[in-house]
Structure 1
Amino acid sequence: MSRAGAPRYDVAVVGGGMVGAVLAVALEQTGFAVALIEAKQPGRFDAQADYDLRLSAIAPGPRRVLANLGLWETVERTRACAFTGMKVWDAGGHAELFLEHTAIGLPELGHIVENELVVDTAWQTLGSVDVFCPAMLADLEIEPDRACLRLDDDSVITAALVVGAEGANSPVRGFAGIETTGWAYGQRCTVGAVTPEKHHRHIAWQRFTETGPVAFLPLSDGRCSLAWHADEALADELKALDHDAFCARLTEASGGVLGKIEKMDTRAAFPLKLLHAKRYCDHRIALAGDAAHVLHPMAGQGVNLGLLDVAELVGALEAGREAGRDAGDLTYLKRYQRARMAENLLMMGATDALKRVYGSRLPWLRQLREQAIASAAGLAPVRQLMIHHAVGLAADGPRLLR
């Protein structure tokens, strides 16, 4: 691969979605020379348009990462909806678990935000980052002192470190030969904005059924973002329903918690899977976000884990620089891997277990589910522990989380 005249960067980030774009901003603000490679130029966010189908529940910890980078103020001002409570219950029982912000002294448990808004805000803040777009990674070679990236227009750039942040089908991960483990869940998640009879009261609602959970996330205009996780057979049934029949089916599946579902705007469905990279780094290689881990979305933690990856990776690279090492030094990349792999595996294991327990029709598991919810609901310390873990705050975490 010819490198004549090729620019040299500290970090080349492949993938300009939420995690990749935020990472590029963070690295640039920390003083690293950064290249960002993205296949498609993201559109400008239009606050007058209807809600996008892709939304995330941003927890306080990852929100702090965005705030420390100067991104959150724009996101919150443009369009974001805070939620102050979360109600969880089992369709097969009577116990309910309600988690609220007052349990840990926070003004909210999180915010519902459109992914494209975060992406647009980050792209408008890239500063001195060199952006290669539209561009795709065509080849990657790792040498002792650099990573050499050939793009699809045959141009070549070099960097001390290349970060794969381009999603579950990461080309960087493939070129690096990093294997993954995982499986398909045999479920699809139907998403879209719904208009319920009752106001959501800034609460996130999730009802567990034997075919998958039904969740309503509050939107700032009073509607809710639906996330209906359904086994393939049910997903096929739902896809075939017309508007009125779908709304009636959703009202039934949600237990009428917000009254009748009066309207369902554009809906779409995507398959669910679990994927985990066997390692997050190699010599001059690192993975972040969905390139490293994909989990069942019932807990809404996918993007949050990716933003926590950003905070930890930037912290590790800063520490390496202070020690006189370049950004591709494996010692400090492994520090990032140790910190994030354990946390990500814990969350992935928890969501996978929840999916399997709540997807079972065994009577004894139904009783166990009911008892677990009742016990958690009755013990304030348990509720506080659950909330603390969910919000992603840590006093001893990396700089971007403080």
Structure 2
Amino acid sequence: MSTRTSRYDVAIVGGGMVGAVLAVALSRADFSVALVEAKRPKRFDTNDDYDLRLSAIAPGPRRVLDNLGLWDSVERRRCCAFTGMKVWDAGSAAELFLEHTAVGLPELGHIVENDLVVDSAWQALTDVDIFCPAMLESLAIETDAVHLYLDDGSTIKAALVVGAEGANSPVRAAAGIETAGWAYGQRCTVGAVTPERHHRHIAWQRFMETGPVAFLPLADGRCSLAWHADDALAAELAELDHDAFCARLTEASAGVLGRIERMDTRAAFPLKLMHAREYCRPRVALAGDAAHVLHPMAGQGVNLGLLDVAELTAALEAGRAANRDAGDMTYLRRYQRARMAENLMMMGATDALKRVYGSDNPLLRSLRQQAIGVASNLAPIRQIMIHQAVGLAADGPRLLQ
């Protein structure tokens, strides 16, 4: 058993996408950083098939990876740019097409495997002390520092601990930060599908009363499926054999890409909304899913986490410039103010979409069809929607510039 005790500016618990990228960002900003992770991630291998966990990374959050020197490692290995998004309602002819040319961008985003981003970040942790495999057993928060006691016998002393270990964050629990939220009574079925026709680098999403069906383009011509369905339908889909599932999916997608010829490994996970009532307390901060989990309908979960990284890094840099340590609440509150309002707005929007499109109320059905039609016919509205989706802003923290 190790008995070492070390002092750092920041200790990050959780080495997934958000935690690992945050560790790179802070170490590149000359903070001393410790990273605690239960299991070292497997090296990414392009010979392996696509992982089930993928994200649609928008141009704004992608800049975070680019400014940290991580994007080249992602782009040269395996990712797929998409240049348009088509959204349509199953109950009408209303449809909306958003394309990159509307805002002068070469693409609207990239479909990337989560494991590839994690691998790229871990290879860049050269100036970070990694405690792995190790898990947090307890926290002791004092006036001038926080002590992390790990299950391998190590003790870490830091000015700040960041919980970036997901929705069931032990750091959040240890700090006594409460959450609000609810389960949606839905599950999302994911996996790689082979359609009859090429995706043409477009993300396709059809809204139905039981939940949307989305196809995200992959580099090899296949699509990553995200089929959000009420629990009863999801359970029914899970019982279907391969051919029956593909036939059902072809029907649900209205054959937009022709017949679904093949469905590789599939899995389903429950959907929920969760939001921490605070993003920071003395010597404690939360980032990524430890702070917020939203319905994946809009594909914004990882993007919000990367924006957390940019804002938290900026807040800690500002604190240091004012001769404050990384755990200073004045600058942690700056991070909370910057991110909480934006995250709540996005969570509210996706929750509203879920409820509007999950309702069989005739009035709501009529309103949503009209909304798609209005947005489709008015270019300024389409541009506003695209700007929001791609996560670009004229101002913002250094890592987003």
| TM value normalised by structure 1 | 0.99
Measured after TM superposition, the shift of residue 155 of structure 1 is 1.6
CA distance in 2, matches of 1:115, 1:337: 25
Q: Which amino acid aligns with 2:152?
A: D
| Deviations 1:197-223, CA, capped at 9 Å, x for gaps | 010000000000000000000000000
Secondary structure of the structure 1 residue equivalent to 2:69:
coil
| Deviations 1:43-79, CA, capped at 9 Å, x for gaps | 0001011100000000000100000000001100000
Alignment of 1:141-156 (within 5 A): 141-156=140-155
| Deviations 1:152-194, CA, capped at 9 Å, x for gaps | 1222110000000000000000000000000000000000000
Q: Which amino acid aligns with 1:140?
A: L
CA distance in 2, matches of 1:395, 1:155: 44
CA distance in 2, matches of 1:261, 1:379: 33
CA distance in 2, matches of 1:52, 1:157: 33
Measured after TM superposition, the shift of residue 394 of structure 1 is 1.3
Residue equivalent to 2:56? 57
CA distance in 1, matches of 2:5, 2:35: 15
Residue equivalent to 1:317? 316
Q: Which amino acid aligns with 1:375?
A: V
Residue equivalent to 1:287? 286
| Deviations 1:226-278, CA, capped at 9 Å, x for gaps | 00000000000000000000000000000110000000000000000000000
Secondary structure of the structure 2 residue equivalent to 1:78:
coil
CA distance in 2, matches of 1:236, 1:80: 31
Measured after TM superposition, the shift of residue 287 of structure 1 is 0.1
CA distance in 2, matches of 1:193, 1:76: 20
Residue equivalent to 2:27? 28
Matched, 1:46 2:45: yes
Residue equivalent to 2:160? 161
Secondary structure of the structure 2 residue equivalent to 1:328:
coil
CA contact (8 A) 2:94 2:373 kept: yes
The percentage of aligned residue pairs carrying the same residue is 80
Alignment of 1:268-283 (within 5 A): 268-283=267-282
CA distance in 2, matches of 1:243, 1:251: 12
Alignment of 1:299-318 (within 5 A): 299-318=298-317
Residue equivalent to 2:84? 85
CA contact (8 A) 2:87 2:205 kept: yes
Unaligned runs of 5+ in 1: none
RMSD of aligned C-alpha atoms?
A: 0.7
CA distance in 1, matches of 2:105, 2:46: 27
Residue equivalent to 1:184? 183
CA distance in 1, matches of 2:285, 2:149: 18
Residue equivalent to 1:130? 129
| TM value normalised by structure 2 | 0.99
Unaligned runs of 5+ in 2: none
CA distance in 2, matches of 1:167, 1:150: 19
Residue equivalent to 2:356? 357
Residue equivalent to 2:368? 369
Matched, 1:13 2:7: no
Measured after TM superposition, the shift of residue 344 of structure 1 is 0.2
**Runs (4+) of structure 1 moved beyond 4 Å?**
none
CA distance in 1, matches of 2:361, 2:9: 54
Measured after TM superposition, the shift of residue 391 of structure 1 is 0.6
Measured after TM superposition, the shift of residue 127 of structure 1 is 1.2
Alignment of 1:383-402 (within 5 A): 383-402=382-401
Residue equivalent to 1:212? 211
Measured after TM superposition, the shift of residue 5 of structure 1 is 6.0
Secondary structure of the structure 2 residue equivalent to 1:160:
strand
